[in-house]
Amino acid sequence: MAKLVQQPLVMECTDWPDAESYRLLDSGGGRKYEAFGPYAFIRPEPQALWQPRLSDWPASGEFVPGSDEDGGGRWNLDPAVPDDGWELEWNEIRFTALPTPFRHLQFFPDMAPVWDWMREQLDGREDAETLNMFGYTGLGTLALSKHGRVTHVDASKKSVAQARENAALSGMEDRPIRWLVDDAAKFAAREVRRERRYDGIILDPPKFGRGPKNETWRLEEGLSGLIGDCAKLLDEKSAFLFLTVYAVRMSAIALGGLLEELLRHLPGTIELGDLAVREQGAGGRLLPTAIFARWSNNG
Ligand SMILES: C[S@@+](CC[C@H](N)C(=O)[O-])C[C@H]1O[C@@H](n2cnc3c(N)ncnc32)[C@H](O)[C@@H]1O
């Protein structure tokens, strides 16, 4: 039976391997100030409750939120910001950064310690079968592809196309990756019926989403069924499951409790906590971004 460690952990995004690609420069006053390669941006960040450390935030753009906390708003961008994005890198992966109407830049920098952790779980392997659900623009998928075959599932045709472009940019278009435009919950249920198994699964579900056939995804309603199906795709030889949740009124303790219940037929360890990004420089503060629960099994 998988053992739950109740003491929360922090998975901290400090420096990217190429520090120029991503840095949290400062935060405070409900906003954050970040460098994405040569461009710095200001974005809303309700958890930055403190005061900024720097007196000035010279930026190439700022996202100005709408009145609705959950969405809306627009970018004010300097004309120097390229309309078709620019290239950044994380280890051997190259990808395009571009401000999107959803506040982010086509990738989530705070996931970097998760990509490292998944790779540690598969260390020395090149034959692993992994699954990335809600895979978006594919950085997690490309990170996993170092260790074997990856199935990448996302409901958005556009995101999958962008993920494939990132694979090409990284010179990884020949890697054994199945790129699927599909509804995550339906796909997982189908894989259970096919009696498939995976060595590792990562899921980064949004609070609300839609499948390609307009299927509705609501985290609070769908999460336990989806994790239940994922649990059936793992066995005692599998290495990991990683679940992140953000922008939801929920604690990591709840995610840990869910994994403890649904993975009880497996050996290994369940841990939980926060993902957070460290501001650059001495005394840099830690800015939380998401909660997680993870299962690992090295046996
Ligand atoms: C926040 S992103 C995931 C970020 C990604 N893991 C990363 O680190 O770059 C959420 C993704 O879920 C996808 N999505 C939303 N509803 C879905 C559904 N029902 N089935 C599959 N994917 C869905 C969206 O298209 C979006 O790409």
Give the model confidence (pLDDT) of 143-190 as tens digits: 999 999 999 999 999 999 999 999 999 999 999 999 999 999 999 999
- Is the CB of 140 within 6 Å of ligand 1? yes
Residue whose CA is closest, atom 1 of ligand 1?
Answer: 206
Is residue 292 within 8 Å of 258, Cβ to Cβ?
Answer: no
- Is the CB of 111 within 6 Å of ligand 1? yes
Ligand 1 probe mutation, 154, 160, 218, most atoms within 8 A of CB? 154
- Is the CB of 141 within 6 Å of ligand 1? no
Look-up of token digits 């391997």: 17
Give the model confidence (pLDDT) of 222-233 as tens digits: 999 999 999 999
Between the two ends of the chain, the Cα-to-Cα distance in Å is 13
Helix (H, G, I), strand (E, B) or coil at 120: helix
pLDDT at position 67 over 90: no
Helix (H, G, I), strand (E, B) or coil at 212: coil
* Backbone torsion region of residue 281, taken as left when φ is above 0, otherwise alpha when ψ lies between -120 and 50, otherwise beta: left
Rounded distance, CA 242 to CA 262, Å?
14
Rounded distance, CA 123 to CA 254, Å?
29
- Is the CB of 136 within 6 Å of ligand 1? yes
- Is the CB of 57 within 6 Å of ligand 1? no
Residues in the chain: 299
Rounded distance, CA 211 to CA 221, Å?
15
CA of 134 to the centre of ligand 1 (A): 3
- Is the CB of 106 within 6 Å of ligand 1? no
DSSP 279: P
What's residue 247's pLDDT?
80
Is residue 26 within 8 Å of 290, Cβ to Cβ?
Answer: no
What is the overall mean pLDDT for the chain?
96
Angle in degrees, 0-180, between the axes of helices 219-232 and 252-262, rounded to the nearest 10:
40
Ligand 1 probe mutation, 115, 134, 223, most atoms within 8 A of CB? 134
- Is the CB of 292 within 6 Å of ligand 1? no
Helix (H, G, I), strand (E, B) or coil at 100: coil
What's residue 242's pLDDT?
98
What's residue 270's pLDDT?
98
Q: Of all atoms in ligand 1, which is nearest to the CA of residue 154?
A: 22
Work out the average pLDDT over 102-129: 97
Give the model confidence (pLDDT) of 76-98 as tens digits: 999 999 999 999 999 999 999 99
DSSP 109: G
What's residue 81's pLDDT?
98
Q: Return the closest-CA partner of residue 283 out of 54, 40, 36, 47.
A: 54
